[in-house]
Structure 1
Amino acid sequence: MTADSGLGALLRDGYWTHEPVAVEPVIDRAALLVTAEEGSDAWRTTSYGFVHDSEHALLRPTDRAFAVEVSFVLDFAEQFDQAGVFLRVDEHEWVKAGVEFSDGLPQVGAVVTHGTSDWSVAPVPSWTGRVVTVRASRSGDAVTIRAWADGEEPRLVRVAHLDPDAVMSAGLFCAAPTRAGLTVTFTACRFGEPDAGLH
Protein backbone atom coordinates (compact mmCIF):
# COMPACT_ATOMS: atom_id res chain seq x y z
CA MET A 1 0.00 0.00 0.00
CA THR A 2 1.17 3.52 -0.62
CA ALA A 3 1.33 6.17 2.09
CA ASP A 4 -1.05 8.24 -0.03
CA SER A 5 -3.93 5.78 0.46
CA GLY A 6 -3.69 6.17 4.24
CA LEU A 7 -4.57 2.50 4.69
CA GLY A 8 -1.14 1.41 5.88
CA ALA A 9 -1.06 4.05 8.60
CA LEU A 10 -4.59 3.21 9.72
CA LEU A 11 -3.81 -0.49 9.85
CA ARG A 12 -0.65 0.21 11.85
CA ASP A 13 -2.05 2.82 14.26
CA GLY A 14 -5.75 1.97 14.42
CA TYR A 15 -7.80 -0.64 16.28
CA TRP A 16 -10.71 -2.88 15.30
CA THR A 17 -14.00 -2.58 17.15
CA HIS A 18 -14.47 -6.26 16.24
CA GLU A 19 -11.90 -8.33 14.39
CA PRO A 20 -13.00 -9.33 10.88
CA VAL A 21 -12.65 -12.84 9.50
CA ALA A 22 -9.65 -11.78 7.40
CA VAL A 23 -7.60 -8.67 6.59
CA GLU A 24 -5.33 -8.74 3.55
CA PRO A 25 -3.19 -5.81 2.42
CA VAL A 26 -2.71 -5.79 -1.36
CA ILE A 27 0.51 -3.86 -1.86
CA ASP A 28 0.50 -3.53 -5.65
CA ARG A 29 -3.08 -2.19 -5.66
CA ALA A 30 -2.71 -0.01 -2.54
CA ALA A 31 -5.80 -1.74 -1.20
CA LEU A 32 -7.03 -3.51 1.91
CA LEU A 33 -9.34 -6.52 1.61
CA VAL A 34 -11.56 -6.99 4.64
CA THR A 35 -13.78 -10.06 5.00
CA ALA A 36 -16.77 -9.62 7.31
CA GLU A 37 -18.23 -12.18 9.67
CA GLU A 38 -21.76 -13.36 8.95
CA GLY A 39 -24.18 -11.52 11.23
CA SER A 40 -21.94 -8.49 11.78
CA ASP A 41 -23.83 -5.19 12.00
CA ALA A 42 -24.27 -1.93 13.89
CA TRP A 43 -27.79 -0.96 15.01
CA ARG A 44 -29.60 -0.02 18.21
CA THR A 45 -33.25 -0.91 18.81
CA THR A 46 -35.35 1.30 16.50
CA SER A 47 -38.04 -0.61 14.57
CA TYR A 48 -36.16 -3.94 14.63
CA GLY A 49 -36.00 -4.25 18.41
CA PHE A 50 -32.46 -5.62 18.57
CA VAL A 51 -29.03 -4.23 19.41
CA HIS A 52 -26.20 -5.28 17.09
CA ASP A 53 -22.73 -4.09 18.07
CA SER A 54 -20.53 -6.34 15.94
CA GLU A 55 -19.43 -4.26 12.93
CA HIS A 56 -15.83 -4.40 11.71
CA ALA A 57 -14.60 -0.83 12.11
CA LEU A 58 -10.91 0.07 11.90
CA LEU A 59 -10.62 3.33 13.84
CA ARG A 60 -8.13 5.83 15.22
CA PRO A 61 -8.61 8.69 17.69
CA THR A 62 -9.42 12.06 16.11
CA ASP A 63 -9.26 15.75 16.88
CA ARG A 64 -12.45 17.64 17.76
CA ALA A 65 -12.58 19.05 14.20
CA PHE A 66 -11.56 16.76 11.34
CA ALA A 67 -12.63 15.09 8.13
CA VAL A 68 -12.20 11.46 7.10
CA GLU A 69 -12.68 10.01 3.63
CA VAL A 70 -13.07 6.29 2.98
CA SER A 71 -12.98 4.83 -0.54
CA PHE A 72 -13.99 1.30 -1.54
CA VAL A 73 -15.10 -0.73 -4.56
CA LEU A 74 -18.87 -1.14 -4.72
CA ASP A 75 -19.00 -4.74 -5.91
CA PHE A 76 -21.25 -6.29 -3.25
CA ALA A 77 -24.85 -7.19 -3.98
CA GLU A 78 -26.48 -9.18 -1.18
CA GLN A 79 -29.06 -7.94 1.30
CA PHE A 80 -27.61 -5.51 3.87
CA ASP A 81 -23.98 -5.83 2.69
CA GLN A 82 -22.43 -2.51 3.73
CA ALA A 83 -19.22 -0.48 3.81
CA GLY A 84 -18.13 3.08 4.42
CA VAL A 85 -17.04 5.40 7.21
CA PHE A 86 -17.59 4.93 10.95
CA LEU A 87 -17.42 7.55 13.73
CA ARG A 88 -17.66 6.22 17.28
CA VAL A 89 -17.97 7.89 20.67
CA ASP A 90 -19.13 4.73 22.49
CA GLU A 91 -21.63 1.90 22.03
CA HIS A 92 -24.55 4.34 22.42
CA GLU A 93 -23.24 7.21 20.30
CA TRP A 94 -21.95 6.63 16.76
CA VAL A 95 -22.47 7.33 13.06
CA LYS A 96 -21.99 5.01 10.11
CA ALA A 97 -22.34 6.20 6.52
CA GLY A 98 -21.70 4.59 3.17
CA VAL A 99 -23.43 2.22 0.81
CA GLU A 100 -25.71 -0.60 1.94
CA PHE A 101 -27.31 -3.08 -0.44
CA SER A 102 -31.01 -3.08 0.44
CA ASP A 103 -34.18 -4.19 -1.33
CA GLY A 104 -32.34 -5.10 -4.52
CA LEU A 105 -30.29 -1.91 -4.93
CA PRO A 106 -27.16 -0.24 -3.55
CA GLN A 107 -28.29 2.63 -1.32
CA VAL A 108 -26.17 5.53 -0.13
CA GLY A 109 -27.11 6.55 3.37
CA ALA A 110 -26.31 7.00 7.02
CA VAL A 111 -27.27 5.62 10.40
CA VAL A 112 -27.03 8.12 13.25
CA THR A 113 -27.25 6.71 16.76
CA HIS A 114 -27.93 8.70 19.92
CA GLY A 115 -29.05 5.87 22.19
CA THR A 116 -31.27 4.52 19.40
CA SER A 117 -30.55 4.38 15.67
CA ASP A 118 -32.17 6.00 12.66
CA TRP A 119 -31.56 5.31 8.96
CA SER A 120 -31.78 7.30 5.75
CA VAL A 121 -31.05 5.96 2.24
CA ALA A 122 -31.23 6.85 -1.45
CA PRO A 123 -30.70 4.42 -4.36
CA VAL A 124 -27.45 4.69 -6.35
CA PRO A 125 -27.56 1.85 -8.92
CA SER A 126 -25.17 3.69 -11.26
CA TRP A 127 -22.42 3.39 -8.64
CA THR A 128 -22.23 -0.39 -9.01
CA GLY A 129 -18.74 -1.59 -9.91
CA ARG A 130 -17.13 1.80 -9.25
CA VAL A 131 -14.94 3.23 -6.51
CA VAL A 132 -17.14 5.11 -4.02
CA THR A 133 -15.86 7.69 -1.55
CA VAL A 134 -17.69 8.69 1.64
CA ARG A 135 -16.57 11.79 3.52
CA ALA A 136 -17.50 12.70 7.08
CA SER A 137 -16.61 16.20 8.25
CA ARG A 138 -16.97 17.07 11.93
CA SER A 139 -17.03 20.66 13.10
CA GLY A 140 -18.83 22.24 16.05
CA ASP A 141 -22.03 20.36 16.81
CA ALA A 142 -22.40 18.76 13.37
CA VAL A 143 -21.15 15.88 11.24
CA THR A 144 -21.65 16.46 7.52
CA ILE A 145 -21.71 13.38 5.29
CA ARG A 146 -21.01 13.55 1.56
CA ALA A 147 -20.51 10.71 -0.93
CA TRP A 148 -19.72 10.21 -4.59
CA ALA A 149 -18.57 7.68 -7.17
CA ASP A 150 -15.39 8.30 -9.15
CA GLY A 151 -15.94 10.93 -11.81
CA GLU A 152 -18.89 12.55 -10.03
CA GLU A 153 -19.27 15.57 -7.79
CA PRO A 154 -19.84 14.98 -4.06
CA ARG A 155 -23.47 14.90 -2.99
CA LEU A 156 -24.79 15.82 0.43
CA VAL A 157 -26.09 12.74 2.25
CA ARG A 158 -26.73 13.93 5.79
CA VAL A 159 -26.12 16.63 8.37
CA ALA A 160 -26.30 15.11 11.85
CA HIS A 161 -26.01 16.51 15.36
CA LEU A 162 -23.12 15.47 17.56
CA ASP A 163 -22.15 16.80 20.97
CA PRO A 164 -19.29 19.25 20.27
CA ASP A 165 -17.48 18.00 23.39
CA ALA A 166 -17.69 14.33 22.46
CA VAL A 167 -14.37 12.53 21.98
CA MET A 168 -14.47 10.04 19.13
CA SER A 169 -12.55 7.72 16.88
CA ALA A 170 -13.10 7.38 13.14
CA GLY A 171 -12.15 5.24 10.18
CA LEU A 172 -13.49 2.60 7.80
CA PHE A 173 -16.03 -0.17 8.39
CA CYS A 174 -17.89 -3.04 6.79
CA ALA A 175 -20.55 -5.50 7.92
CA ALA A 176 -22.52 -8.45 6.56
CA PRO A 177 -25.72 -8.93 8.58
CA THR A 178 -27.20 -11.73 6.46
CA ARG A 179 -24.43 -13.79 4.90
CA ALA A 180 -20.88 -15.10 5.03
CA GLY A 181 -18.24 -14.28 2.43
CA LEU A 182 -18.49 -10.50 2.05
CA THR A 183 -15.04 -9.11 1.23
CA VAL A 184 -14.77 -5.35 0.75
CA THR A 185 -11.89 -3.81 -1.19
CA PHE A 186 -10.94 -0.55 0.52
CA THR A 187 -8.72 1.73 -1.59
CA ALA A 188 -8.18 4.70 0.77
CA CYS A 189 -8.79 6.14 4.22
CA ARG A 190 -7.54 9.69 4.59
CA PHE A 191 -7.84 12.19 7.43
CA GLY A 192 -7.66 15.96 7.08
CA GLU A 193 -9.21 19.31 7.87
CA PRO A 194 -13.02 19.70 8.17
CA ASP A 195 -15.07 21.28 5.41
CA ALA A 196 -15.08 25.08 5.41
CA GLY A 197 -18.87 25.21 5.19
CA LEU A 198 -22.01 23.25 4.53
CA HIS A 199 -22.64 24.72 1.07
Structure 2
Amino acid sequence: MIDPELLAAASWTTRPVAAEDTEGLRVTAAEGSDAWRHTSYGFVHDDANGLLAPFGVRDAVEVEFVLDYTEQFDQAGVLLRASAEEWVKAGVEVSDGVPQIGAVVTHGTSDWSVAPVPDWVGRRVTVRASRDGDAITVRARADDEPFRLVRVAHVDPALELRAGPYCCAPTRAGLTVQFTRWERVAPDAALH
Protein backbone atom coordinates (compact mmCIF):
# COMPACT_ATOMS: atom_id res chain seq x y z
CA MET A 1 0.00 0.00 0.00
CA ILE A 2 1.19 3.48 -0.82
CA ASP A 3 0.35 5.74 2.15
CA PRO A 4 -1.97 8.44 0.77
CA GLU A 5 -0.73 11.02 3.32
CA LEU A 6 2.88 10.51 2.25
CA LEU A 7 1.85 10.67 -1.39
CA ALA A 8 -0.06 13.93 -0.84
CA ALA A 9 3.00 15.52 0.84
CA ALA A 10 5.50 14.24 -1.73
CA SER A 11 7.20 15.81 -4.71
CA TRP A 12 9.63 14.47 -7.32
CA THR A 13 13.33 15.31 -7.18
CA THR A 14 13.37 14.72 -10.96
CA ARG A 15 10.22 13.68 -12.81
CA PRO A 16 10.35 10.15 -14.20
CA VAL A 17 9.26 9.27 -17.72
CA ALA A 18 6.01 7.88 -16.25
CA ALA A 19 4.41 7.23 -12.86
CA GLU A 20 1.13 5.34 -12.66
CA ASP A 21 -1.05 4.37 -9.71
CA THR A 22 -1.41 0.65 -10.55
CA GLU A 23 -1.37 -1.76 -7.61
CA GLY A 24 0.97 0.66 -5.89
CA LEU A 25 3.16 2.99 -7.90
CA ARG A 26 4.67 1.96 -11.24
CA VAL A 27 7.59 4.25 -12.14
CA THR A 28 9.58 4.38 -15.38
CA ALA A 29 12.96 5.97 -14.74
CA ALA A 30 14.50 8.56 -17.02
CA GLU A 31 17.35 7.24 -19.17
CA GLY A 32 20.69 8.27 -17.68
CA SER A 33 19.23 9.14 -14.26
CA ASP A 34 21.50 8.61 -11.24
CA ALA A 35 22.72 10.05 -7.95
CA TRP A 36 26.48 10.29 -7.29
CA ARG A 37 29.03 12.96 -6.33
CA HIS A 38 32.69 12.90 -7.37
CA THR A 39 34.34 9.92 -5.62
CA SER A 40 36.41 7.71 -7.92
CA TYR A 41 34.45 8.59 -11.08
CA GLY A 42 34.86 12.37 -10.92
CA PHE A 43 31.33 13.16 -12.10
CA VAL A 44 28.21 14.53 -10.45
CA HIS A 45 24.74 13.12 -11.18
CA ASP A 46 21.79 14.64 -9.35
CA ASP A 47 18.74 13.48 -11.28
CA ALA A 48 17.48 10.41 -9.42
CA ASN A 49 13.73 9.86 -9.81
CA GLY A 50 12.80 10.20 -6.13
CA LEU A 51 9.31 10.83 -4.74
CA LEU A 52 10.02 12.41 -1.36
CA ALA A 53 7.94 13.53 1.63
CA PRO A 54 9.05 15.21 4.89
CA PHE A 55 11.11 12.94 7.17
CA GLY A 56 11.52 13.79 10.86
CA VAL A 57 14.45 13.64 13.27
CA ARG A 58 13.00 10.44 14.78
CA ASP A 59 11.20 8.79 11.88
CA ALA A 60 11.23 5.75 9.61
CA VAL A 61 9.87 4.70 6.23
CA GLU A 62 9.64 1.39 4.43
CA VAL A 63 9.62 1.10 0.65
CA GLU A 64 8.76 -2.20 -1.02
CA PHE A 65 9.29 -3.05 -4.69
CA VAL A 66 9.57 -6.04 -6.99
CA LEU A 67 13.15 -6.88 -7.97
CA ASP A 68 12.66 -7.73 -11.64
CA TYR A 69 15.32 -5.59 -13.33
CA THR A 70 18.65 -6.86 -14.68
CA GLU A 71 20.62 -4.19 -16.54
CA GLN A 72 23.90 -2.65 -15.34
CA PHE A 73 23.31 -0.08 -12.57
CA ASP A 74 19.48 -0.39 -12.63
CA GLN A 75 18.45 0.51 -9.09
CA ALA A 76 15.51 1.09 -6.77
CA GLY A 77 14.96 1.66 -3.08
CA VAL A 78 14.64 4.53 -0.65
CA LEU A 79 16.18 8.00 -0.96
CA LEU A 80 16.69 10.41 1.95
CA ARG A 81 17.69 13.88 0.82
CA ALA A 82 18.45 17.28 2.35
CA SER A 83 20.24 18.81 -0.65
CA ALA A 84 22.35 17.97 -3.69
CA GLU A 85 25.32 17.45 -1.34
CA GLU A 86 23.62 15.68 1.60
CA TRP A 87 21.69 12.48 0.91
CA VAL A 88 21.50 8.71 1.32
CA LYS A 89 20.15 6.19 -1.18
CA ALA A 90 19.71 2.53 -0.26
CA GLY A 91 18.27 -0.40 -2.13
CA VAL A 92 19.17 -2.96 -4.77
CA GLU A 93 21.44 -2.03 -7.68
CA VAL A 94 22.61 -4.38 -10.42
CA SER A 95 26.40 -4.31 -10.66
CA ASP A 96 28.40 -6.59 -12.98
CA GLY A 97 25.33 -8.74 -13.63
CA VAL A 98 24.46 -9.35 -9.97
CA PRO A 99 21.81 -7.59 -7.85
CA GLN A 100 23.50 -6.00 -4.83
CA ILE A 101 21.90 -4.65 -1.67
CA GLY A 102 23.71 -1.50 -0.67
CA ALA A 103 23.80 2.15 0.15
CA VAL A 104 25.42 5.35 -1.06
CA VAL A 105 26.00 7.97 1.62
CA THR A 106 26.87 11.46 0.46
CA HIS A 107 28.27 14.31 2.55
CA GLY A 108 29.73 16.41 -0.26
CA THR A 109 31.23 13.29 -1.84
CA SER A 110 29.66 9.85 -2.24
CA ASP A 111 30.69 6.44 -0.96
CA TRP A 112 29.22 3.05 -1.86
CA SER A 113 28.80 -0.27 -0.08
CA VAL A 114 27.22 -3.41 -1.56
CA ALA A 115 26.64 -7.11 -0.92
CA PRO A 116 25.32 -9.60 -3.51
CA VAL A 117 21.71 -10.82 -3.21
CA PRO A 118 21.16 -12.97 -6.32
CA ASP A 119 18.47 -15.01 -4.54
CA TRP A 120 16.29 -11.88 -4.22
CA VAL A 121 15.52 -11.75 -7.97
CA GLY A 122 11.78 -11.91 -8.66
CA ARG A 123 10.90 -11.26 -5.02
CA ARG A 124 9.43 -8.34 -3.07
CA VAL A 125 12.24 -6.33 -1.48
CA THR A 126 11.60 -4.04 1.50
CA VAL A 127 14.08 -1.33 2.46
CA ARG A 128 13.57 0.44 5.80
CA ALA A 129 15.38 3.66 6.69
CA SER A 130 15.21 4.82 10.32
CA ARG A 131 16.47 8.15 11.57
CA ASP A 132 17.30 8.82 15.18
CA GLY A 133 19.18 12.04 15.84
CA ASP A 134 22.57 11.77 14.13
CA ALA A 135 22.11 8.28 12.67
CA ILE A 136 20.38 6.69 9.71
CA THR A 137 19.95 2.92 10.02
CA VAL A 138 19.13 1.00 6.84
CA ARG A 139 17.74 -2.54 6.90
CA ALA A 140 16.41 -4.69 4.06
CA ARG A 141 14.80 -8.03 3.37
CA ALA A 142 13.23 -10.13 0.63
CA ASP A 143 9.60 -11.19 1.09
CA ASP A 144 8.99 -11.95 4.78
CA GLU A 145 12.53 -12.95 5.72
CA PRO A 146 14.10 -11.24 8.75
CA PHE A 147 15.51 -7.78 8.11
CA ARG A 148 19.28 -7.58 7.73
CA LEU A 149 21.41 -4.59 8.58
CA VAL A 150 22.68 -2.80 5.47
CA ARG A 151 24.23 0.37 6.85
CA VAL A 152 24.48 2.78 9.76
CA ALA A 153 25.41 6.25 8.55
CA HIS A 154 25.93 9.64 10.10
CA VAL A 155 23.51 12.47 9.39
CA ASP A 156 23.58 15.99 10.79
CA PRO A 157 20.63 16.07 13.22
CA ALA A 158 19.90 19.66 12.18
CA LEU A 159 19.25 18.70 8.54
CA GLU A 160 15.70 18.75 7.23
CA LEU A 161 15.33 15.54 5.24
CA ARG A 162 12.73 14.27 2.79
CA ALA A 163 12.40 10.55 2.10
CA GLY A 164 10.64 8.10 -0.19
CA PRO A 165 10.98 5.65 -3.07
CA TYR A 166 13.42 6.24 -5.89
CA CYS A 167 14.72 4.54 -9.01
CA CYS A 168 17.48 5.27 -11.51
CA ALA A 169 18.53 3.92 -14.90
CA PRO A 170 22.07 5.20 -15.52
CA THR A 171 22.77 3.05 -18.60
CA ARG A 172 19.49 2.61 -20.45
CA ALA A 173 15.92 3.62 -21.19
CA GLY A 174 12.92 1.56 -20.17
CA LEU A 175 13.55 0.65 -16.53
CA THR A 176 10.15 0.34 -14.86
CA VAL A 177 9.88 -0.42 -11.14
CA GLN A 178 6.71 -1.58 -9.40
CA PHE A 179 6.63 -0.08 -5.90
CA THR A 180 4.07 -2.02 -3.88
CA ARG A 181 4.38 -0.25 -0.53
CA TRP A 182 5.57 3.05 0.93
CA GLU A 183 4.61 3.84 4.48
CA ARG A 184 5.79 5.46 7.66
CA VAL A 185 6.71 2.91 10.37
CA ALA A 186 8.13 3.02 13.88
CA PRO A 187 11.87 3.77 13.90
CA ASP A 188 14.21 0.98 14.96
CA ALA A 189 14.28 0.79 18.75
CA ALA A 190 17.95 -0.24 18.80
CA LEU A 191 20.81 -1.02 16.48
CA HIS A 192 20.94 -4.68 17.52
Q: Does 1:21 align with 2:21?
A: no
Is residue 150 from structure 1 mapped to residue 143 from structure 2 by the alignment? yes
Superposition deviation, residue 7 in structure 1: 4.4
Q: Distance in 1 between matches of 2:14 and 2:168?
A: 10
The answer as to 2:29 corresponding to 1:33 is: no
Q: CA deviation at 1:151?
A: 2.6
Question: Aligned partner of 2:17: which letter?
Answer: V
Name the CA distance, whole Å, in 1 between partners of 2:148 and 2:54.
26
User: Once superposed, what is the RMSD of the aligned Cα atoms?
Assistant: 0.9
Letter in 2 for 1:81: D
2:157 aligned with 1:164, yes or no? yes
TM-score by length of 2: 0.98
The alignment partner of 2:21 has SS state of: strand
SS of corresponding position for 1:12: helix
Q: Which runs of 4+ in 1 moved over 2 A?
A: 6-13
Report matched runs for 1:110-129 at 5 Å.
110-129=103-122
Instruction: Tell me the percent identity.
Output: 65
- Secondary structure at the aligned position of 1:11 is classed as helix
Find the aligned partners of 1:6 and 1:182 in 2 and give their Cα distance: 20
The one-letter amino acid paired with 1:62 is F
The equivalent position to 1:60 in structure 2, one of 24, 45, 53, is 53
Is structure 2 residue 79 aligned with structure 1 residue 86?
Answer: yes
> How many angstroms does 1:18 deviate by?
0.3
Structure 2 CA distance, aligned partners of 1:11 and 1:21? 18
Q: TM-score, normalised by structure 1?
A: 0.94
5 Å-filtered alignment, 1:122-137, equals 122-137=115-130
- Give the match's secondary structure for 1:10: helix
- Stretches of structure 2 lacking an aligned partner (at least 5 in a row): none
Separation in 2 of the partners of 1:66 and 1:48? 33
